[in-house]
Structure 1
Amino acid sequence: MFKFVVLMALLGFSLAAPQKYEDEPYVTRQASQVNPDGTYGHEYELSNGVAVQESGIGGQYATGGFQHISPEGETIQLAYTADETGFHPQGTHLPTPPPIPEEILRAIEYIQEHPTPEEQADREYRLQHNQ
């Protein structure tokens, strides 16, 4: 009876094991390196077209990118840098702001050419103390 129970338990575990499907993505390439000076780099690729890579200095700077295949079959790529000024993505699929109207550009130019007395004093102070 004990052998029967053990056999049934093993059969149950084997049936409960997760199934691997043919269309399930798997890692085709992977590399990673972390150095004592804080620099690092890692990259990997999956069988479904996903690719990721990044390198940088931990907590200070990173540059990298990733890509995947959209449901429409289009390759989507994004490159980025990240530093003390923030995250800066670049990609043709990202939305872009509309052009600034000519009237606004002229207004900005006028404001820059005609500073208020406070702005003029600030400019002069900065010139004197930044040399």
Structure 2
Amino acid sequence: MLSKILIAFCAFTVVLSASFSRPNVDIISSRADISPDGSFQWSYQSADGTSQEQSGRPDVLGQIVQGNAEWYDPQGVRHNIVYVADANGYQAASADIPVGPPIPAAILKSLQWNARHPEEQ
């Protein structure tokens, strides 16, 4: 009985790993540079159209990093994201990032009223 379970588990593992395997993709270009002052730059581009680049430099409040990434999904649709990370946090911009609905007028009006009438301590 144990041997049948072991054989079934092995067959399941082979089928599962085959479904997750992807072909290797060649890297067309790659570069990286790290400076003694703490600044850096790196980038790569692969044969399937995926590319990414990032640069950073030290700042009084920490590191400032900016970059972008581009890739194609299985349907061939191009995706791109541009980002900055600094003292204001991580800020990304992309057509793929969903935008929430607008604030309802009644809530917006109450927020404005609250801003004009702060509670006294």
Superposed counterparts of 1:12-91, under 5 Å: 24-57=24-57, 60-91=63-94
Q: Displaced runs of 4+ in structure 1, greater than 6 A?
A: none
RMSD: 1.4
Q: Which runs of 5+ in 1 are unaligned?
A: 1-22, 119-131
How many residues were matched structurally? 96
Greater fraction helix: 1
Higher fraction of strand: 2
TM-score, length basis structure 2: 0.74
Question: Aligned ranges for residues 83-122 of structure 1 at < 5 Å?
Answer: 83-118=86-121
Displacement of 1:87 in angstroms is 1.6
Letter in 1 for 2:38: G
Identity between Structure 1 and Structure 2 (%): 26
When normalised by structure 1's length, the TM-score is 0.68
Per-residue deviation, 1:95 = 1.2
Equivalent position amino acid for 2:90 in 1? F
1:61 shift after superposition: 1.1
Partners of 2:110 and 2:28 in 1: how far apart? Answer: 55
Matches of 1:89 and 1:115 in 2, distance apart? Answer: 32
Structure 2 unaligned regions, length at least 5: 1-22
If asked which structure has higher relative contact order (CA below 8 Å, sep 6+), I would say 2
